[in-house]
Amino acid sequence: MNTPLTIDEASAALAKVVRPRSRWFPLSFGKSSGFEGKVVNGGFNINRAIDYRNSFLPILHGRFHPAPGGSTIEVKMIPHTSVIAFLALWYVLIGGALFQTVVEWRGGAELTSRDLIPLGMLAFVYLMCFFAFGFEARKATEFIQRVFEDDRPNKALQLPAR
């Protein structure tokens, strides 16, 4: 993503709308700042501040790079590392059960509807991740674009609807 802002201006624009990350479950029931995390000159590590639970909430890791006429913002969105670890374990275990079913089927065993349960479990978890992460990633992308599209420093930023 490109912006007409310099690296320092882009960093300052983002820092204005990002609050420090809460160590505990947030108790704010009003409007939040939209995002929480850390913005440093040259990059950021932020996530949306939400009043509900979503294990697949993207964490945005970003870097600012100089570019002709402004700067380029490189953003990578990933789930929390504990979610990635849990999903890896889940897919290994359920994938192993599916592999065992395929081996038995290739060995001549009759395939029953019960044997397809691991396939359904893999598909369900994949779709759950796809939609839950995608929902939040879309909101984060819209927010980030609005922050860096506005090169007028005194204009109030409209926060995303929750």
- pLDDT by residue, tens only, the chain of 162 residues: 888 888 888 898 899 889 988 766 555 555 555 889 999 878 999 998 888 888 899 999 999 999 998 899 999 999 999 999 999 999 999 999 999 999 998 998 888 888 889 889 999 999 999 999 999 999 999 988 888 875 545 444 444 444
Q: DSSP states of the chain as a string?
A: -EESS-HHHHHHHHHHTEEPPPSS-----S---SEEEEEETTEEEEEE--SS--TTPPEEEEEEEEETTEEEEEEEEE--HHHHHHHHHHHHHHHHHHHHHHHHHHTTPPP-GGGGHHHHHHHHHHHHHHHHHHHHHHHHHHHHHHHHH---TTSPPPPPP-
Report pLDDT for 155: 47
How much is the pTM? 0.75
Residue-level pLDDT at 92: 94
Q: Which of 34, 43, 33 is closest to 8 using CA atoms?
A: 43
Q: Decide: residue 5, CB within 10 A, 0-12 exposed, 13-18 middle, 19+ buried.
A: buried
